[in-house]
Amino acid sequence: MPEGYLPVFIFAVFALAFPIVALGAGKLVRPSTPLSTKLEAYECGIRSASDSRGRYTVRFYIIAILFVIFDVETIFLFPWAVRYRQLGWFGVAEVAVFLAILVVGYVWAFKKGALEWV
């Protein structure tokens, strides 16, 4: 039984060793000249007006994730649109259930206040 895990162990060793070896080789090969100009955020010659590590409100991320989730879910309508003649009323019922679930999700997100920007 343990000899069946030998290929997995060899693969795990290679998977761990590859990034370590690649980063080590990169450190040996790359030039290292930390000048003050190189350590700045931008090399365009204009001094930054404020700290570049500003904080975003969590609502931005929530809206972005909701957009991605609901937008990707609507892509599942494409196969139905291609095969809707073969699916008949069964396909219509499936899409109606799918869209009802999406609407319930939108209503829930709206009631939680996740779609309000202010």
pLDDT band at 45 (very low <50, low <70, confident <90, very high): low
pLDDT band at 42 (very low <50, low <70, confident <90, very high): low
- d(CA 12, CA 9) in angstroms, rounded, equals 5
Neighbours of 41 (CB within 10 A): 10
pTM of the model: 0.45
Instruction: Tell me: pLDDT of 86 over 70.
Output: yes
Where are the alpha helices (H) located in the chain, listed in sequence order? Answer: 6-29, 58-74, 77-82, 84-111
Determine the pLDDT at residue 9.
92
Amino acid in the structure at residue 11: F
Contact indicator for 116, 57 with CB cutoff of 8 Å: no
Residues 105-109 have a mean pLDDT of 84
